[in-house]
Structure 1
Amino acid sequence: MLDSFQESPYGQLLLNWAVVIGSVLLCLLVLPTRFPGMELLGVGPNWLLIWVVAWSVNRTVFQGAIAGLALGLIQDGMTSAHPTHVLSLVVAGVLTARLQKQRYVKEDFISIALIVFGMAVVTETITAIQFSWQGIGSNTLGAYPTLGEIWVYHQRIALSSAILSSLWAPVVYYPLNRWWERIKLPDSA
């Protein structure tokens, strides 16, 4: 039954959407979870960043930006909208798509892990910049951390997130990439 479903173009498209949405939901469910051995200095892997990189590596800049926008809005809905996750995930999607289009990297585990490592540092830096902007111009003195405090924490958080996210990147990338290679949709959803 699954083979006949996959043979029709609409069946392939529907099945692809189910895999895409299912994988995003799985990443969203795992995001707040801290399994033993999956956190470093209180920071866990950024599963949505890993998904955005896995999606964007074979797609256009626009598709990478849309994926970052959608997942950023979902993450803002799950957590806090201040600072927003949209900006950092859009930047990660765009940069990943641009990097692949320039053919600087090949599509293998090491390259994906390195891309995720770099994008984790970029996304955490964007978040730290947004935190530093929150304190500027506020009337409540001492309510927000100082710029020096933010950047000290940023170093720990960025490095921890980058290490963990790059180590766990193949867990998300490999099955999704195999699926997308298997179905070979010309306009992959």
Structure 2
Amino acid sequence: MDLLTRQPLLAASALLVPLLVLASPGWLSLDGVGPCWAVLWLLPWALSDGPFSGACAGLALGLLLDAVYPGGVTQAPALLLLGWWWGRMGRRAPPIQRSFSLGLLALLGTALLGLTLMLQWGVHDWVSTREAIQLAGPELGRRLEGQGVNPALLALPGWRWDDLAGPGLRVLLSQTLITALLAPMLCSLQLLLWRQVGSGWRR
């Protein structure tokens, strides 16, 4: 936890993540979908600074991104878990330096984060559908369903199961692929920087 305790200002580099998410550079996108900047920052940080620092950074980063995009879903639990997992790998396994390993870890992390968001949206859709039917009353709900109208349309707008199975899956695959392609270059540079800084403090 050397990076977090000895130089907490380095953790302020996480503020670049929401800025990059909001800027969403078009030339760094695949099919209109940008990379998962949170994974590209958190992966090298956790590998170099350990599980506790990785979990804290993941939680803080998730809460920061939730503030940028308020809604019924959160990225904090998945990023906390990823930070802890990658931090354990960085402490217990041989140092991860290969580009393929970084790309694979980024791919798995982005897929896990995307799947947790899809699951939350799906549960939100199911809950809002039940609430809409209860608010509409059993008679109106039966009439709407008999006419082929989804009572969930009465609820708050959001992702539906059909959206998740179509566009949602396309977004997940595009983001996972572009993140895995960028990870070997971006994560390698960050990992080298964090490790050099950490080793310099330990001397």
Name the structure 1 match of 2:141.
Answer: none
Name the structure 2 match of 1:86.
Answer: 76
| Structure 1 segment 101-116 matched on structure 2, within 5 A | 101=91, 103=93, 106-116=96-106
State yes or no: 1:178 paired with 2:192. Answer: yes
Name the structure 1 match of 2:39.
Answer: 49
Instruction: Kindly indicate which of the two structures has a greater share of residues assigned to helix.
Output: 2
Q: Which ranges in structure 1 are unaligned for 5 or more consecutive residues?
A: 1-11
Q: 1:154 to 1:88 in 2, by over 3 A?
A: farther
Q: CA deviation at 1:150?
A: 1.4
Q: 1:50, 1:173 within 8 Å by CA — same for their partners in 2?
A: yes
For 2:159 and 2:19, locate their aligned partners in 1 and report how far apart those are by CA, in whole Å: 30
| Structure 1 segment 15-54 matched on structure 2, within 5 A | 16-21=7-12, 23-54=13-44
Q: CA deviation at 1:172?
A: 3.6
Name the structure 1 match of 2:183.
Answer: 169
Count of matched residue positions in the alignment of Structure 1 and Structure 2 = 172
Q: 1:123 to 1:25 in 2, by over 3 A?
A: same
Q: CA-atom RMSD, angstroms? A: 2.4
State yes or no: 1:160 paired with 2:174. Answer: yes
For 2:195 and 2:127, locate their aligned partners in 1 and report how far apart those are by CA, in whole Å: 50
After TM superposition, the score normalised by the length of structure 1 is 0.78
After TM superposition, the score normalised by the length of structure 2 is 0.73
Q: CA deviation at 1:71?
A: 0.2
Name the structure 1 match of 2:108.
Answer: 118
Q: CA deviation at 1:105?
A: 7.4
Report percent identity of matched pairs. Answer: 23
| Structure 1 segment 119-138 matched on structure 2, within 5 A | 119-138=109-128
Aligned partner letter, 1:29: L
